[in-house]
């Protein structure tokens, strides 16, 4: 037998319903394991990338809000602390009292 005839006997020339394949069970298990590991690895990498992108988006939002707060808080555009509001009320009251006392002092001088 020559080599050409052996190859022709092993490999079918046409694909039809009678085509069969023989594979070692050890190789089949290794192939299934390899593809399972590849799919699991891809899913883990994809999940990690999604998590990191989500965190980056949250950080961008926080940085924007912090920058806005840093600019607007000293200007008083974002309100005041409750302690500041109480202090402002007391200062307003004291200013009115000082004005009343000044008016009385001016009357006494006349």
CA distance 32 to 100: 93
Instruction: Tell me: pLDDT of 52 over 60.
Output: yes
Check residue 78 and report its DSSP letter. T
Structure tokens at 59: 């950080």
Q: How confident is the model at residue 94 (pLDDT cuts 50, 70, 90)?
A: very high
Q: What is the mean predicted confidence (pLDDT) over 86-106?
A: 91
Q: Where on the phi/psi map is residue 22: left (φ > 0), alpha (ψ -120 to 50), or beta?
A: beta
The whole model's pTM is what? 0.47
């Amino acid at each position: 037998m020559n080599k050409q005839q052996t190859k022709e006997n092993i490999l079918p020339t046409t694909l039809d319903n009678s085509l069969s394949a023989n594979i070692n069970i050890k190789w089949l298990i290794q192939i299934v394991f390899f593809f399972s590991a590849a799919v699991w690895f891809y899913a883990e990498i994809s999940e990690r990338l999604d998590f990191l992108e989500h965190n980056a988006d949250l950080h961008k939002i926080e940085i924007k809000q912090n920058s806005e707060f840093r600019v607007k808080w000293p200007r008083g555009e974002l309100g005041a602390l409750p302690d500041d509001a109480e202090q402002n009320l007391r200062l307003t009251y004291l200013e009115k009292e000082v004005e009343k006392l000044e008016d009385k002092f001016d009357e006494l001088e006349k």
